[in-house]
Chain A
Amino acid sequence: MSQPPLLSVEDLSVEFRTRSGTVRALEAISFAIARGETVGVVGESGSGKSVTAYTVMRLLDDAARITSGRIMFGGLDMLGADAGTLAELRGRELSMIFQNPRASLNPIRRVGQQIADVLLRHANVGAKEAGERAVALLAEVGIPEPSRRAKAYPFELSGGMCQRIGIAIALACRPALLIADEPTTGLDVTTQATIMDLVSELGRARGMATMLITHDLGLATERCDRVVVMHAGHVVEDAPTAALFAAPRHPYTARLFAATPRPGLALSEISTIPGGLPDLRRDDLPPCRFSTRCDRRRDACDAPPLPRVTHQGRLVACHNPL
C-alpha cells in the first residue's frame, strides 16, 4: 500500500478505573483500514471491540484513560484533536452505528426528525430538504412506508427498525469511515442483506471504509476484505478474510471457528472454548492473555513480550501458531 491508510491505530492501550481496580481493556493494539475497505472485527464478548470503536470515535467515558498509542484518521491525529474538530468530524466524516440501537436514539423525538437533525447540522441543507432526505434514507435502509414511519417515535418501532434508524443516521452524511458495532444483529437475514448491500454500494461508489464489528462469522466471510480477531484486549490475528477462514493461525481463532453453529452440526459436535476471559484487573496478566486456555501453550508463552509477527500480510500474535 503506497497511500497511507484512512485510519491507523498504533500501539493503543486503554484502561478503566473502577472501584475494584483498573480494567486493562486494550493493550497495545494496532490495525489499519484503507479507503473503501471493509474490515471485520471479531472476538469474544468483552474482548474490547466496542471500546476500540469508542476510542477511535473519542467517545470514551470519564473513567477511561488512554495510556499509550496513536490514532490517525485521514491525516488527523485523533488523540490530539480538540473537541470542536472532533464534533465537526463525527457525524460527517466519521460515524458510528451503536451496538444498542434503541438506547442511542432520543425516545421523545420522531425518528425522521432525528435523521434530519444530523443533516441540518452537517450537510448544509434546509429543513425541507433535510426532511425529504430523511425519508429517502429510511427507504434506503429498507423501512417500508418511510414517510409514515418518519413520524413514529422509537417505542412505536420494532427492535430491528430502531437499528435501521441508527444506520440511517450514521449513513446520512456519507461518511468516509463507518464504524458499525454489530449493525445487523437484530435483523433477519433478508433485511440484513439489504443493509449490507447498501454499505457495500457506498464502499464501491464513494470509497467509504467500514469497520464492521460482528459476532456473525458468516457475515464477516461475505462482507469483509480483512478480519481482525480480538481476545481479551489484544489483537491476536489480522488477515485477509479468505486466508483466515481457510487456515486460522492463532489458536483462539481456530477455537472460535470450531464453536460456530453451521448446518449439519449438532450441539454436541460444537466445541466450546475452555475457560473464560481472564480478569482484566489483574496486575499479573500473562503476556499472552489466551495462554491459560490454550492447548498449544509452551513455556515460552509466559515470557514477555507477546510476539506480533506479520508475514505475507497476516499478523499473528502467538509463540506457537498453527
Chain B
Amino acid sequence: MPQPAVSAPVLDARDVCKRYPVGGGGLFARGPVPLLHAVDRISLTVGAGETVGLVGESGCGKTTLTRMLARLIDTTEGSILFGGDDLATVPAARFAGHPARAAIQMVFQDAEGSINPRFTAFDAIAAPLRRLNGLSGAPLRARVERAAEQCGLPLTLLGRYPHQLSGGQKARVGIARAVATEPKLLILDEPTSALDVSVQVVILELLAELKSRLGMSYLFVSHDLNVVRLICDRVLVMYLGRIVEEGPAEAVFRAPAHPYTRALVDSVAVPGQIREGPRLRLSGDPKSPIDPDQNACRFHGRCPRGQDVCGSVAPPEVTPGTGRRAFCHLPLMEHA
C-alpha cells in the first residue's frame, strides 16, 4: 500500500514472524518439530501522531505481535524499524540498555501480572521515571502525581499495594506508569477492558491530549470495537497470525470488505439497544495455527462466503477503497 509521503513512520515493521516449537512430536518423532505460527509475516506502520487499532479473535497473535514490537520477546523473522535502527537485531535481553527503550512504552493486557506485588502504586509508576528519566525526590513525586491525576487515579490510592486495589485501579496504575515517561510510541494491549466507561473516557481523552500536545503515536489493541472506532485513525484486523484487512477505521467498520471483519462488526452490542434479527454466528472449526497451509485462506472453513478456491490458493490482495486493503478471494465490495 502506498504510504502518504508526508513524514516517515515512527514504527515500520516488516514481515515480522513468531513461531513457537510445539511438543507432540515426541523423542523419536521423525521430521521437523511442528511450529505454532503465532504471528505470520505481518507488516505494519505507525505514523507520527497516528493511532492504529489492532483487533482480532482471541489467540490470533495480537499480544505476541505487540511484545515483539516492544522488544520484550525476540522475533523469529522480520525487521522492526524504529528511529533509524532495526530493533529486531537487538536481542530482547539486551534491549533494556538500548536508547530506543525510553521511547517505546507498553501497557500490558494483564495489569496485575505486570505490577510488582511488593511495589505501592507510587513505586510502580515511579520505577520507569527513575530508571529512564533519572528523576528523584520532589520532581519525581510531582511527576508521579501528575500521571496519576491524568489517569483519574485518586492520589489517596498511591500508597496502596496491588492487592488493595480494584481491577480498574490497577489498570490505571499500568497506564499511568506508561504515559509518565511520555514515550514516542505507546503500545496499549487491552488498556480499557478493565475500566468502567467513565474512567475509560478519561483515559481516551488523555490519549487524545498527549497525541495533540506531544505527537505521541499509539498502537491500540482492543476488543471493544466501539472504542477502536472512536479513537483510531487506522485499524488492522488480524486473523490467526495474519492481517486480513486494514484501512481507515471508519471506512473499515462502515463497510468491511473481509468476511471476518464483517462478522466482528456484526457482533458488536450497542448499550441499551436490543439486537434486531438473529446474530451472525461463525460456525465450523478454526484452522490450526500449527504449520498452517500457506496456500489457503486461514478463515476458510468458518467463512460464510468460502468456496473451494479459498482452500487451495492463498487469498489475493484487494483494494476496497483508498488506503484500504484486504486479503480475500470473495471480498464484500458493495459500498466501496
Contact = CB atoms under 8 A, between A and B. Distances in A.
Q: Do A and B bind each other?
A: yes
A42 B229 CA distance: 23
B272 interface: yes
A219 to B, nearest CB: 6
A256 B58 contact: no
Contacts of B109: 159, 186
A227 B262 CA distance: 30
B223 A188 contact: yes
Contacts, number: 192
Contacts of B285: 144
Contacts of B63: 158-159
Interface in A157-208: 157-161, 163-164, 181-182, 185-193
Interface stretch (B11-19, B131-139, B155-163): B155-163
Given A189-B225, A189-B268, A279-B156, A260 B197 contact: yes
A18 B158 CA distance: 13
B255 interface: no
Nearest to B267: A189
Interface string A237-271: 00000100110000000011101111101110011
Interface in B12-41: 20, 22-24
Contacts of A284: none
Interface stretch (B121-129, B275-283, B309-317, B324-332): B275-283
A261 B230 CA distance: 7
A186 B57 CA distance: 10
A16 B275 CA distance: 42
A193 B267 contact: yes
Contacts of B24: 148
Contacts of B224: 216, 261
Contacts of B246: none
B168 interface: yes
A256 B198 CA distance: 6
B280 to A, nearest CB: 9
Residues of A contacting B: mostly:
loop
Contacts of B274: 221-222, 242
B271 A262 contact: yes
A28 B156 CA distance: 24
A145 interface: yes
A258 B201 CA distance: 11
B289 to A, nearest CB: 8
B286 interface: yes
A258 to B, nearest CB: 9
A16 B288 CA distance: 47
B249 to A, nearest CB: 12
Interface string B218-239: 0000011111011100000000
Contacts of B208: 267
Nearest to B156: A279
B201 A259 contact: yes
Contact of A45 (B195, B225, B269): B195
Contact of A190 (B267, B272, B273): B267
Interface in A269-298: 270-273, 276-277, 279, 281
B196 A267 contact: no
Given A44-B198, A159-B109, A186-B109, A245 B272 contact: yes
Contacts of A49: 166
B226 A261 contact: yes
Contacts of A192: 223, 267
A46 B267 CA distance: 29
Nearest to A20: B159
A151 B23 contact: yes
A263 B281 contact: no
Contacts of A276: 152, 154
Contact of B286 (A99, A144, A156, A182): A144
Contact of A265 (B113, B166, B230): B230
A185 B193 contact: yes
Given A159-B58, A189-B269, A45 B199 contact: yes
Given A161-B58, A267-B208, A50 B275 contact: no
A102 interface: yes
Contacts of A59: none
B167 A45 contact: yes
B56 interface: yes
B145 interface: no
B57 A50 contact: no
Contact of A219 (B168, B269, B279): B269
Given A20-B159, A215-B197, A188 B56 contact: yes
A293 B156 CA distance: 18
B179 to A, nearest CB: 17
Contacts of A299: none
Nearest to B271: A217
A148 to B, nearest CB: 7
B230 A267 contact: yes
A215 B270 contact: no
A222 B110 contact: no
A18 B269 contact: no
A158 B58 contact: yes
Q: Which 5 A-B pairs have the closest CB atoms?
A: A45-B168, A160-B58, A218-B269, A217-B271, A189-B267
Interface of A: 16, 18-20, 42-47, 49-50, 61, 63, 99-100, 102-103, 144-145, 148, 151, 156-161, 163-164, 181-182, 185-193, 215-222, 242, 245-246, 255-257, 259-263, 265-267, 270-273, 276-277, 279, 281
20 contacts: A42-B196, A45-B199, A99-B167, A100-B167, A103-B113, A144-B285, A159-B109, A160-B59, A163-B58, A185-B193, A186-B109, A192-B223, A221-B270, A221-B271, A245-B271, A246-B272, A257-B272, A259-B201, A261-B229, A281-B156
